[in-house]
Amino acid sequence: MKTILVITASIFGEDGQSSQLVSRTLQQLRETHGDFRTIHRDLAADPVPHLDASRFGAFLASQDSRDGDQQRIVDYSDSLINEIVEADVIVMGVPMYNFGIPSALKAYFDHIARAGVTFRYTENGPVGLLEDRPVYVLSARGGIYAGTPNDSQTPYIRSFLGFIGLKDVHFVYAEGLNLGDDQKQRALDRADRDIETLTA
């Protein structure tokens, strides 16, 4: 049975539009490909600590020189990375807050970017060390940003995931959700169609 890693970050939990897009994606995947096991990491309900000097120092310390606190930090980071390694598919719900990704998602990214574990530097530049797999990014936004200079999410997420080896990344947008009921419904209907096409 396949495993899907589900990552959500909406401060509104299951009621958030990005979380609802994730639910529709999982439903569509089940209808199209059969049942699967899920690992759900809700970054709003169970936030990853933000990176600080002590946590970064733990990542840099050699295994032999780590103290107990540093080892616990590394073990936690390893557990996040192992969830990705276990997954055949990753489904991410990403709301837009103030033109960017939620800070909880940035903290998560900071804990899975580990030199020598998920990427390494070479004379030809960085190389991602994670085996590629499909990543579906469901992005909910109050305004309309895709394809404009104000869409900081798409290039950042694509660049970061590619940096650690995840290059098969697909985006679905539900935009203009705060621009009136008609626009909201059109956006959600379009996102549903895009999800159906993407997961076919």
Which parts are annotated binding residues? 10, 96-99
Please state the residue numbers annotated as binding site for FMN: 10, 96-99
Rounded-to-integer distance, Cα 171 and Cα 110, Å: 21
The 10 Å Cβ neighbour count of residue 53 is: 7
Please name the amino acid found at residue 129: L
Residue 65 three-state SS: helix
Rounded-to-integer distance, Cα 113 and Cα 110, Å: 6
Rounded-to-integer distance, Cα 106 and Cα 39, Å: 19
Burial of 117 (0-12, 13-18, 19+ CB in 10 A): middle
The first and second tokens of residue 33, run together, are 């490909």
The first and second tokens of residue 174, run together, are 């539900």
Gyration radius (Cα) of the chain, Å: 18
